[in-house]
């Protein structure tokens, strides 16, 4: 990748998503989870959705906005799982009346009722999976799950299985084993009490990414342990819901040093990006150093720096107390492993800074897929907007 040319052409701050790397990552995950299907949770990064269409089995879509993105990209309806809380009636009606969606998830009795009513109204058979709660606002209780199993209209609602997701960035195989045991116990309950066999389990293991230089973790060993654990699930088919682990590695965020200063507390470099565009799970005021590179700096002398972004808040710290070659204005940092959630979850409207351009890097070429977007219009009180 010729970074000099890319920076000259697209400027910083900039996200680059390396599609070749992403496709290799998916192949790697598929080689480990060889008997499961892969469902990509598009909330992690909506810009690479089309690029992976041939490589993944399904997309987890959690809002009207996410559906509209996939629809505009002509994603096959047969790969869409319409998921998430607050699937309102208008949205579901639009889908049921117009498209052959692969499946819907049921997150509550209200959602069950909406899907039940609409499948009857349009006399259309729909496939669903029911999300079992992990004791938070998501999914249904065991009692509600049983109610749905016992009362659903078998002609029009095909319950294909169960969904379970309890959180992201999970490192503990013990916790995953416990969840698998719990799911298996509940599958037995449904069989014994409702005479209902769960065919598929769509499970989100919350596979982790090691964001910091000091993290020690044998990822391959962990993924193999997760695969062993999932092989114990008492069902015909396992689908792995994942976002972070699929896309994190393919993304880089480029940001340029725009100012340098020193005071009694140390040396400060201000970059043109910031924490509104860079999300590291669990980051607490840059106490840990993420994976990064500094481009083209050949200085032999080093110094200790604090790297701050362009937001007017003391929280906008990217790295603290980091030893680096002596910095100059114009030096560019490349922050790595930022393909997941940075462009979708960042507090990007803060301070009305522009949203960065986004470039896909594919077969040695760059493709601009989002131009720079001004956010001043979004933060502007438009007194005339009612007219």
Ligand X SMILES: Cc1ncc(COP(=O)(O)O)c(C=O)c1O
CA within 13 Å, CB half, 230: 27
Query: In the chain, how long is the greatest CA-to-CA distance?
Result: 74
Q: Which of 87, 152, 244, 357 binds ligand X (CB under 6 A)?
A: 244
Q: Which one of residues 29, 41, 235, 279 is an interface residue with ligand X (CB under 6 A)?
A: 41
Closest separation in Å from C-beta 83 to ligand X: 6
Is residue 179 a contact point for ligand X (CB under 6 A)? no
Nearer to ligand X, 55 or 297 (CB): 55
Please report whether residue 207 would count as binding ligand X according to CB under 6 A.
yes
C-alpha 304, offset from chain centre: 34
Nearest CA to 109 among 151, 67, 156?
Answer: 151
CB of 139 to ligand X, least distance (A): 9
Task: Extract long-range pairs of 181-187: CB within 8 Å, 24+ residues apart.
Answer: 183/132, 183/233, 184/232, 184/233, 184/234, 186/132, 186/142, 186/145, 186/162, 187/162, 187/233, 187/234, 187/235
Only segment of 15-23, 50-58, 238-246, 318-326 that touches ligand X (CB under 6 A): 238-246
Task: State how far Cα 148 lies from the chain centre.
Answer: 29
State how far the Cα of 183 lies from the Cα of 185, in Å rounded to an integer.
5
Q: Based on CB atoms, which residue is closest to ligand X, 138 or 361?
A: 138
Smallest separation, CB 332 to ligand X (Å): 28
Decide: is 139 part of the binding site for ligand X (CB under 6 A).
no
| Min dist. Cβ of residue 237 to ligand X (A) | 17
From candidates 107, 116, 179, 241, binder to ligand X by CB under 6 A = 241
CA 46 to chain centre: 8
Stretch that binds ligand X, among 68-76, 96-104, 235-243, 364-372 (CB under 6 A): 235-243
CA distance 163 to 62: 14
Note whether 339 binds ligand X by CB under 6 A.
Answer: no
- 200 is a contact residue toward ligand X (CB under 6 A): no
Chain residues binding ligand X by CB under 6 A are 41, 43-44, 60, 165, 168, 204, 206-207, 241-245
């Amino acid at each position: 990748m010729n970074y000099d040319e890319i920076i000259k052409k697209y400027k910083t701050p900039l996200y680059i998503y390396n599609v070749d790397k992403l496709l290799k990552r998916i192949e790697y995950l598929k080689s480990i989870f060889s008997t499961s299907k892969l469902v990509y949770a598009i909330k992690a990064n909506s810009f690479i959705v089309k690029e992976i269409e041939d490589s993944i089995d399904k997309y987890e879509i959690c809002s009207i906005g996410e559906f509209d993105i996939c629809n505009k990209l002509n994603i096959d309806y047969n790969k869409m799982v319409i998921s998430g809380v607050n699937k309102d009636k208008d949205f579901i009606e639009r889908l049921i009346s117009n498209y052959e969606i692969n499946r819907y998830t049921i997150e509550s009795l209200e959602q069950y009722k909406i899907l039940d009513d609409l499948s009857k109204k349009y006399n259309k058979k729909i496939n669903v999976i029911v999300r079992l709660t992990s004791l938070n606002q998501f999914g249904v209780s065991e009692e509600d799950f049983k109610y749905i199993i016992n009362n659903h209209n078998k002609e029009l609602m095909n319950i294909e299985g169960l969904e379970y997701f309890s959180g992201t960035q999970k490192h503990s195989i013990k916790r995953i084993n416990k969840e698998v045991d719990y799911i298996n116990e509940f599958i037995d309950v449904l069989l014994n009490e409702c005479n209902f066999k769960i065919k598929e389990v769509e499970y989100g293991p919350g596979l982790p990414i090691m964001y910091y230089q000091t993290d020690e973790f044998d990822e391959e060993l962990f993924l193999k342990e997760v695969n062993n654990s999932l092989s114990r699930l008492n069902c015909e088919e396992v689908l792995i819901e994942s976002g972070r682990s699929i896309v994190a590695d393919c993304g880089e965020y480029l940001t340029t040093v725009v100012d340098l200063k020193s005071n009694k507390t140390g040396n400060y470099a201000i970059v043109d990006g910031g924490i509104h565009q860079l999300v590291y799970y669990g980051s607490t005021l840059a106490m840990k150093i993420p994976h990064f590179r500094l481009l083209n700096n050949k200085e032999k002398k080093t110094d200790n720096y604090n790297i701050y972004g362009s937001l007017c808040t003391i929280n906008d710290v990217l790295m603290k107390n980091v030893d680096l070659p002596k910095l100059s204005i114009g030096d560019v940092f490349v922050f790595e492993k930022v393909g997941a959630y940075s462009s979708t979850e960042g507090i990007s409207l803060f301070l009305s800074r522009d949203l960065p351009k986004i470039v896909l890097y594919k077969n040695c070429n760059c493709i601009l897929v989002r131009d720079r977007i001004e956010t001043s219009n979004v933060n502007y009180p438009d007194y005339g907007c009612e007219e």
